[in-house]
Amino acid sequence: MRNVKRQVGFTLIELMLAVAVVAILAGIAVPQYSDHLQRGRLTAGIGELKELRARMEQRYADNRTYANTAGTACSIGAFTNAQGTFGFACALTNAGQGFTWTATGTGPATGFVYTIDEAGMEVTTSVKPGWTATAMPANRFIVKKGS
């Protein structure tokens, strides 16, 4: 009686097939995950832009002006969001009876610029190339690629 040893393990073909499947899945998942992270950054910046507008409206309800006590600038100070991906700036319009807040992307959000005013007009001023195939929509923030 002959003692036959059975081979144990994977063949080279099986191993190459497994590596190819993992590479295909990674090629799909990594860009999707990156877009998901970017949408999260944009949404956080837009949320803070809307918060600034709400704070300005409270200021107006209390003082009948958006301007500071000197009448030279917006009544509330700008801040940098928690993720550090947007810088905020405010400009008064109509002698303190109007304002425009601008959120300008920095770091991973570079290329994105959003504005909001006292009337609630939400405008996407700029996005990264490839994020929108058409003209910028009026009164809407773009936070998803291809929208």
Whether 20 is covered by a domain: the verdict is: yes
Structure tokens, 38: 């970017």
Whether 73 is covered by a domain: the verdict is: yes
Averaged pLDDT in 10-residue chunks for the chain of 147 residues:
73 92 92 88 90 93 89 77 80 92 91 93 88 70 79
Burial class (CB in 10 A: 0-12, 13-18, 19+), 35: middle
Whether 133 is covered by a domain: the verdict is: no
Domain count, the chain: 1
Whether 47 is covered by a domain: the verdict is: yes
Among 110, 107, 143, smallest CA distance to 124 is for: 143
Task: Determine the structural domain holding residue 48 and report its residue range.
Answer: 12-126
74 three-class SS: strand
> Residues, the chain, total?
147
| φ, ψ for residue 121, nearest 5 deg | -70, 115
What is the rounded CA–CA span in Å between residue 10 and residue 22? 16
Q: Which residues lie below 8 Å from residue 98, measured CB to CB, with a gap of 6+?
A: 66, 92, 117, 118
Q: Give pLDDT, residue 133.
A: 55
Whether 145 is covered by a domain: the verdict is: no
What is the rounded CA–CA span in Å between residue 88 and residue 26? 36
Residue 22, amino acid: V
Whether 101 is covered by a domain: the verdict is: yes
Structure tokens, 134: 């058409």
Whether 75 is covered by a domain: the verdict is: yes
Structure tokens, 70: 């000197």
Q: Give pLDDT, residue 141.
A: 87
